[in-house]
Amino acid sequence: MNFDNKEEELRKQVIKAAVQYYNEVHKKKNSFKFKSGDTIPYAGRVFDEREIVNLIDASLDFWLTTGRYARQFEKEFAKFLGVKYCLLTNSGSSANLLAFMALTSPLLGERRIRRGDEVITVACSFPTTVAPIIQYGAVPVFLDVELPSYNIDCSMLEEALSEKTKAVMIAHTLGNPFNLQIIKEFCDRHGLWLIEDNCDALGSRYYYDGKWRYTGTIGDIGTSSFYPPHHITMGEGGAVYTNNPLLKRIIESLRDWGRDCWCPSGKDNTCCKRFEQQLGELPYGYDHKYIYSHFGYNLKVTDMQAAVGCAQIEKIPQFVIARKQNWEKLREGLRSLKHYFILPEPAENSDPSWFGFLLTVKKDAPFTRKEIIKYLESNGIQTRMLFAGNIVKHPCFDELRESGTGYRIVGELKNTDYILNNTFWIGVYPGLTEDMINFIVSKFYEFTNVFKGELK
């Protein structure tokens, strides 16, 4: 037996053993029957032997950085979304960082974002949607959100606009698309960039320009996260996608140390001009692999992570269906409690792939958010806040608030502050079973029955 045949045979044996391990360990753990007292997670990874096979296969290559699986994922994910370019990165936070920093590139000329320029966003957000703006030295302009969509109040857009406005950067809240029709028209009318933070909305669709399109693909740049609670996972990981070839080039440069070269890892002289160029003030023929056109980072994903992602891509359609079904079951099951809670509603012209089920305790409810979530948690039902609630009120803003120059607020953040004090969410992820959902619904009624008759 020659070396290649022996290697292939050994690989098959290792993978076969790994599949056996999955069947004996993970499959049995994941096939338990829910009983009262068990924890119902707000989210979690859902996988089978295919993820294990890919992970082991990639590890046997021992190609520890970006490689063949990463290239496969980028190609297949772009195809799924219907975009030209997809670039993998090591997290959704890094994806947002790359998306924003791409818009500061000198290659964009007059449209580049400079320090002191403004970016419209919302205060009811996850920190990493806002952090890149502040860290660069641009100014976030915070708008309120609407209920029950929990998305940006578009009526405030024109008031938020100034001569310094360069972009809009917002997320689709828990999978519910913001009003892309209005916001895209606003951006086009004023020559603004639009970044769609799509980290919580993979598989959500919006009816735009006469057809259904995936969220994240209508603006200039979209981002995704593959952290375990998200729609698909590779452990840590994220993606940035665009149809703009110049933005693709900039994002790739920033992700890969800021280099000017676009050779993939392990490849040399893709441009066939590696030693035949003169750029900047460098000597003619300086190695193109070590020429830097941006102040960049190393934010690449490992091939083992990408290998897991490649197996997860195949499951996106079934995951989306499961999330929708679980959301609908909760919505129907809790419908009778609408006098206690503001129940979530899908945005107009949208088909959400839900990340969670949002509830807001009404002003005249005879109980508080703290009381209901304490009861749910004591019964093993995990709950989560709507991320920062109001990011401006967090300690990280203390210094900016004291300086008086770090951000702007347009109008009042009434809904944002109400959400900060009264909103929470529970899971809809594909790992939930019928018994779990029924148990969740029963505990809501069990809790609210104590207060029946107290609401006028």
pLDDT at 456 over 60: no
> What is the pLDDT, as a whole number, of residue 372?
98
Residue pair 152/178 in contact by the 8 Å Cβ criterion: yes
> What is the pLDDT, as a whole number, of residue 264?
75
Average pLDDT over residues 159-184: 98
Which stretches of 104-168 are DSSP H helices?
A: 127-136, 157-160
> What is the pLDDT, as a whole number, of residue 179?
98
Q: What is the mean pLDDT of the chain?
A: 94
Q: Take residue 426 and report the two structure tokens written for it.
A: 């529970």
pLDDT at 193 over 70: yes
pLDDT digits 0-9 by tens, 266-305: 778 777 889 888 888 888 988 888 889 999 999 999 999 9
> What is the pLDDT, as a whole number, of residue 48?
95
The residue that leads in pLDDT, 29 or 450, is 450
Task: Give the distance, in angstroms, between the CA of residue 137 and the centroid of all CA atoms in the same chain.
Answer: 23
Residue pair 319/232 in contact by the 8 Å Cβ criterion: yes
Residue pair 239/89 in contact by the 8 Å Cβ criterion: yes
pLDDT at 161 over 60: yes
Give one word for 237, left, alpha or beta, with left for phi > 0 and alpha for psi -120 to 50: left
Task: Delineate the domains of the chain, giving CATH numbers in brackets.
Answer: 59-305 (3.40.640.10), 314-450 (3.90.1150.10)
> What is the pLDDT, as a whole number, of residue 447?
97
pLDDT digits 0-9 by tens, 368-398: 999 999 999 999 999 999 999 999 999 999 8
Q: How confident is the model at residue 351 (pLDDT cuts 50, 70, 90)?
A: very high
pLDDT at 317 over 90: yes
Out of 230, 231, 288, 294, pick the active-site residue: 230
pLDDT digits 0-9 by tens, 86-104: 999 999 999 999 999 999 9
pLDDT digits 0-9 by tens, 418-431: 999 999 999 999 99
Indicate if 230 belongs to the active site. yes
> What is the pLDDT, as a whole number, of residue 454?
65
Instruction: Please return the burial class of 425, using the count of CB atoms within 10 Å of its CB with bins 0-12, 13-18 and 19+.
Output: buried
Encode 231-264: b = buried (16+ Cβ within 10 Å), e = exposed.
Answer: bbbbbbbbbbbbbeeebbbbbbbbbbbbbbbeee
Average pLDDT over residues 309-332: 98
Q: How confident is the model at residue 234 (pLDDT cuts 50, 70, 90)?
A: very high
